[in-house]
A and B are shown apart, each in its own frame.
Chain A
Amino acid sequence: MGYFDSFLMAVNSLSKQKLRSALTLIGMVIGVASIIGIMTTMEAIQTYMEKSLSVLGSTVFQVQKTPFMNVGPSDRHKYRNRKNIKVEHADAIRARAKKVANVGAEDWSFGKAIGYKQKTTEPVYLVSGATPEWSPNNGYYVDVGRFLTQLDVDYSRFVMVIGIEVVEDLFPFKYPIGETVKFEGRNFEVVGIIEEQGNEMGRSRNNMLVIPLTVYQKIYGKDGSINITISAKSSELLNGAIDEIITIMRAVRKIAPGKDNDFEVFNSESLIGFWNDMSRNLKIGSILISFISLTVAGIGIMNIMMVSVTERTREIGIRKALGARKKHILTQFLIEAVLLSLTGGFIGVIFGVLLGNVAASLMNLSVAIPWFWVVVGLIFCSFVGIASGFWPALKASRLDPIESLRFE
Chain B
Amino acid sequence: MTLIDIKNVKKIYDLGAEKIHALDGVSLKIERGEYIAIMGPSGSGKSTIMNILGCLDTPTSGSYHFEGEEVSRMDDNQLAGIRNEKIGFVFQTFNLLPRISSLQNVELPLIYGGVSLESRRKRASLVLERVGLGDRVNHKPNELSGGQRQRVAVARALANEPSIILADEPTGNLDSKTGEEIMVLFNQIHEAGNTIILVTHEEYIAENANRIIRLHDGLIASDEVVRMHAMN
A residues with a Cβ closer than 8 A to B are 1-2, 5, 12-13, 16, 314-315, 317-328, 401-402, 405
B211 within 8 A of A: no
List the A side residues contacting B114 at CB < 8 Å: 1-2
- Report B78-99 residues with CB < 8 Å from chain A CB: 80-81, 83-85, 89, 91, 95-97, 99
Q: Which of B104-112, B143-151, B194-202, B217-225 is the contact stretch?
A: B104-112
Q: How many chain-B residues does the 8 Å CB contact rule pick out? A: 27
**B91, A322: Cβ atoms under 8 Å?**
no
**B56, A401: Cβ atoms under 8 Å?**
yes
**A325, B97: Cβ atoms under 8 Å?**
no
A222 to B100, CA, bound (A): 86
**A315, B81: Cβ atoms under 8 Å?**
no
Given A13-B99, A402-B57, the answer on whether A323 and B91 have CB atoms closer than 8 Å is no
Number of A-B contacts (CB under 8 A): 63
**A320, B80: Cβ atoms under 8 Å?**
yes
Select which of B51, B83, B95 is within 8 A of A323 by beta carbon.
B83
**A12, B100: Cβ atoms under 8 Å?**
yes
- The 10 nearest A-B residue pairs measured at CB: A323-B84, A323-B112, A322-B109, A325-B80, A16-B99, A325-B77, A323-B83, A318-B95, A401-B56, A324-B112
Given A328-B112, A402-B56, A402-B57, the answer on whether A322 and B84 have CB atoms closer than 8 Å is yes
List the A side residues contacting B96 at CB < 8 Å: 318
A315 to B97, CA, bound (A): 6
Select which of B81, B95, B100 is within 8 A of A321 by beta carbon.
B95
**B97, A324: Cβ atoms under 8 Å?**
no
A interface SS class: helix
A189 to B171, CA, bound (A): 106
Given A1-B114, A401-B56, the answer on whether A321 and B89 have CB atoms closer than 8 Å is yes
List the A side residues contacting B95 at CB < 8 Å: 314, 317-318, 321, 405
Residue on A nearest B160 in the bound complex, by CB: A323
B207 within 8 A of A: no
- Report B51-66 residues with CB < 8 Å from chain A CB: 51, 54, 56-57
**B112, A1: Cβ atoms under 8 Å?**
yes
Select which of B76, B108, B117 is within 8 A of A319 by beta carbon.
B108
